[in-house]
Structure 1
Amino acid sequence: MATPAFEEIAETFDFLDDWEDRYRHVIELGKAMPAMAPELQVPATKVEGCASQVWIMPRIEDGRFDFEGDSDALIVRGLIAILHALYAGVPVARIAAIDAPQELGRLGLQDHLSAQRSNGLRAMVERIRLLAASA
């Protein structure tokens, strides 16, 4: 079961007819996301395997997962915003149970992202899973 925030994104994607509109929506999600403090954009928070610069800093509060994220590419910031909607507020113990490829598949991203962006998205999901598992 996806979070309400992710369900809202999925509903918006269902409403948008073509990929260009969806692409613009992903970029808007990225623009709306708060910027990550520059002092958190360090090698320890950097996600390897992404074509763009990507940083993810986890926060665990009351057993629930959350994170800050940022990228130097707007489309990637949008992908981070989608992942935030998918994972934020979920109990840490349930992060591994989220089938990210299936949930993201509902958005049709895999059909429209370049191979490099798809690999980067997988790297971000793996990083989130590892961060939650080590919490």
Structure 2
Amino acid sequence: MTTFPAHPFGTTLTPNGIVEKMVNCRSWEDKYRLIIQMGKQLPNLNDQLKEESVHVPGCESKVWLIWKIENNTYHFAADSDARIVKGLLAIIVAATEGKTRQELIAFNFEQYFEKMNLLSHLSPSRNNGVRAIINQIQRI
């Protein structure tokens, strides 16, 4: 069995910290670069973990999502073949890490992304992909 990747962020990427960084960006290009930088903090999943991941319907890019439950809290790992999607995954994983099932269901992702003014800048297909990833997490 392959080892589940350690959570890469520690306290460096938190939902509030991400929102603050995004709000302080001066342009969409700055946000785009920041998203890609955050994606670089997600470890690449090895092939075995990719095989064990769930399929995320609605994503045009390849997305791999896995999780484990410890002490009633969820821990996620994710990867993508697209840099911007991997960054968006980092934003989502930071918001979901260590939450209980009830907290995952209750978390307001719409408000989270709205505070960052992100979804309005994404293409419709990326927007649909983000929503598909969130729906998958909340269905777990």
Task: Give, in whole Å, the separation in 1 of the partners of 2:52 and 2:100.
Answer: 26
SS at match of 2:103: helix
Question: 2:56·2:132 contact (CA, 8 Å) conserved in 1?
Answer: yes
Give the helix-richer structure, 1 or 2. Answer: 1
Match of 1:32 among 36, 41, 49: 41
Residue ranges of structure 1 left out of the alignment (5+ in a row): none
Structure 1 CA distance for aligned equivalents of residues 46 and 77 of structure 2: 9
% identical aligned pairs: 36
97-106 or 35-44, which deviates more: 35-44
Counterpart in the other structure of 1:97: 106
Q: Tell me the equivalent position of 1:51.
A: 60
Among 76, 99, 121, which residue is 1:112 paired with? 121
TM-score (norm 1): 0.90
Number of residues paired by the alignment?
Answer: 129
Superposition TM-score, scaled by structure 2 size:
0.87
Q: Which runs of 5+ in 2 are unaligned?
A: 1-10
What is residue 74 of structure 2 aligned with on the other side? 65
Letter in 1 for 2:136: R
Consecutive aligned runs of 4 or more in structure 1 exceeding 3 Å deviation: none
Which amino acid in the other structure matches residue 100 of structure 2? P
Q: Which residue of 2 aligns with 1:79?
A: 88
